């Protein structure tokens, strides 16, 4: 592995990742993992702060952040990861075989995003224990990222760095996500009239029929190179011999173009209203703007920093466009230029999720490179909002 700085310990990274991954932390239930992070960083003499997001979202842990003091009074860069995972359906038993971490059970591994959490902790251990100088930087760990970036939305303006990087993208280390879409969340509740399905079905008004008509009329799937739409949840009815009185559906649409997003959302709402009218039922519709798109050009200091740090490891940087959101969407919208970098995790949100130890080592080394090089790319004066294109 090329690049300067202290070399990551594969044994320590394995120890950290396995310990973090085996502890379940579905969204709003991150307390145990948050306590592990606090303990690890506190043992290094760092003061870790936790906000009040838990109370705001009915969770058990808040967002964490700390400053890692080095050269310079103010940090040049913030490194971030999220503490939650999608909900596992079984126990998590991480195993390392032939250099690959997998779960011995048929559910997620949790490398999304515990690979980044482990790498950030070890990178900080190495920098603080190396005895060499390094620039001051910040760490932050959010909660409930998997449920619509909820933790980041509730995180106050606590970071003072002019640039940030989150590590929440799938793929081998070296990928740089500079562009991600906006998302609208959609939910609808259909209210019809129950009746016996065999004795007097004509008295009934089927809420499921209304939902089915609406979904059938919607533009769904990959609509163009920038836009997609999906209905992911449908729930209704109580028995096969009852005309269903109630049905709820949930979905979303995403686009890199806000005009296309608005058009797609409007078409989905129109389909919901038309489906309800055809079936003679009522419908309540909720449309929520979940997060805003971002696009960083090659001129952005945080993109140039990412390319330089990746190249220093002997890896060719890969520029890419995301189909989903991350905490980077929230921080970019607030004026903190934030890139999302590949963390080595593969086939996430599935029982086939895996992570190579080589990529975990590279991820840790990349974080060290980013910290070391940040002063060369951070905007003069370290003013928030001056680090854009």
Summarised one tens digit per residue, pLDDT across range 226-249 is 999 999 999 999 999 999 999 999
pLDDT at 357 (0 to 100): 98
**How does pLDDT run across 159-205, given as a tens digit for each residue?**
999 999 999 999 999 999 999 999 999 999 999 999 999 999 999 99
Catalytic residue among 84, 125, 146, 245: 84
Binned at pLDDT 50, 70 and 90, residue 2 comes out as low
Domain co-membership, 300 together with 285: no
- pTM for the complete prediction? 0.91
Which of residues 260, 291, 322 is at a domain's end?
Answer: 291
pLDDT at 1 (0 to 100): 64
- Cα(1)–Cα(7) distance, rounded to whole angstroms? 9
Number of domains comprising the chain: 2
pLDDT at 383 (0 to 100): 46
The dihedral over CA atoms of 313, 319, 324, 330, expressed in degrees to the nearest 10, equals: 80
Cis peptide before 113 (omega within 30 of 0): yes
Which of the 8 DSSP states describes residue 197?
A: T
Domain co-membership, 79 together with 103: yes
100 or 384: which leads in pLDDT: 100
**How does pLDDT run across 253-311, given as a tens digit for each residue?**
999 999 999 999 999 999 999 999 999 999 999 999 999 999 999 999 999 999 999 99
pLDDT at 385 (0 to 100): 43
Give the mean model confidence (pLDDT) for residues 343-362: 97
Q: What is the CATH number of the domain that holds 315?
A: 3.40.630.10
Per cent of the chain over pLDDT 70 is 97
- Cα(142)–Cα(380) distance, rounded to whole angstroms? 28
Binned at pLDDT 50, 70 and 90, residue 379 comes out as confident
Q: What is the CATH number of the domain that holds 251?
A: 3.30.70.360
Domain co-membership, 155 together with 235: no
Q: Is residue 59 part of a domain?
A: yes
Which of residues 291, 312, 332 is at a domain's end?
Answer: 291
Q: What SS3 state is found at 127?
A: helix
Q: Which phi and psi angles does 320 have, rounded to 5°?
A: -150, 160
97 is catalytic: no
With a cut of 70, say whether residue 380 has pLDDT above it.
Answer: no
Asked if 179 and 284 touch (Cβ cutoff 8 Å), the reply is no
Catalytic residue among 113, 145, 245, 361: 145
With a cut of 70, say whether residue 211 has pLDDT above it.
Answer: yes
With a cut of 60, say whether residue 381 has pLDDT above it.
Answer: no
Q: Which domain holds residue 187?
A: 182-291
User: What does the mean pLDDT of the chain come to?
Assistant: 95
145 is catalytic: yes
- Cα(261)–Cα(109) distance, rounded to whole angstroms? 33
**How does pLDDT run across 26-67, given as a tens digit for each residue?**
999 999 999 999 999 999 999 999 999 999 999 999 999 999
């Amino acid at each position: 592995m090329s690049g300067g700085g202290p070399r990551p310990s594969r044994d320590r990274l394995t120890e950290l990742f396995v310990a973090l991954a085996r502890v379940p932390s579905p969204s709003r239930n991150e307390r145990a993992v948050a306590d592990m992070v606090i303990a690890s960083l506190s043992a290094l003499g760092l003061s870790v702060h936790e906000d009040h997001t838990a109370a705001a979202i009915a969770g058990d842990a808040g967002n964490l952040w700390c400053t890692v003091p080095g050269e310079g009074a103010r940090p040049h860069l913030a490194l971030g990861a999220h503490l939650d995972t999608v909900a596992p359906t079984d126990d998590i038993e991480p195993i390392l075989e032939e250099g690959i971490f997998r779960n011995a059970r048929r559910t997620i591994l949790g490398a999304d995003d515990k690979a980044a959490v482990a790498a950030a902790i070890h990178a900080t251990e190495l920098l603080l224990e190396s005895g060499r100088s390094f620039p001051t930087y910040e760490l932050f760990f959010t909660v409930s990222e998997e449920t619509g970036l909820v933790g980041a939305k509730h995180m106050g303006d606590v970071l003072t760095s002019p640039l940030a990087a989150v590590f929440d993208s799938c793929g081998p280390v070296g990928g740089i996500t500079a562009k991600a879409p906006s998302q609208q969340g959609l939910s609808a509740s259909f209210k019809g009239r129950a009746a016996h399905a065999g004795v007097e079905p004509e008295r009934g008004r089927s809420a499921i029929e209304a939902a089915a008509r609406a979904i059938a009329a919607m533009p769904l799937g990959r609509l163009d190179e920038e836009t997609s739409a999906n209905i992911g949840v449908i729930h209704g009815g109580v028995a096969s011999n009852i005309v269903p009185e109630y049905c709820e559906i949930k979905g979303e649409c995403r686009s890199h173009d806000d005009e296309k997003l608005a058009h797609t959302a409007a078409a989905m709402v129109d389909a919901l209203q038309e489906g309800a009218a055809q079936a003679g039922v009522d419908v309540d519709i909720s449309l929520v703007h979940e997060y805003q798109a971002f696009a960083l050009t090659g001129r952005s200091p945080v993109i140039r920093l990412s390319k330089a740090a990746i190249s220093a490891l002997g890896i060719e940087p890969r520029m890419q466009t995301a189909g989903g959101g991350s905490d980077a969407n929230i921080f970019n919208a607030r004026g903190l230029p934030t890139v999302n970098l590949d963390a080595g995790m593969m086939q996430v949100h599935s029982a086939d999720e895996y992570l190579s130890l080589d990529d975990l080592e590279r991820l840790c080394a990349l974080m060290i490179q980013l910290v070391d090089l940040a002063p060369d790319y951070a905007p003069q004066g370290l003013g928030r909002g001056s680090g854009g294109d």
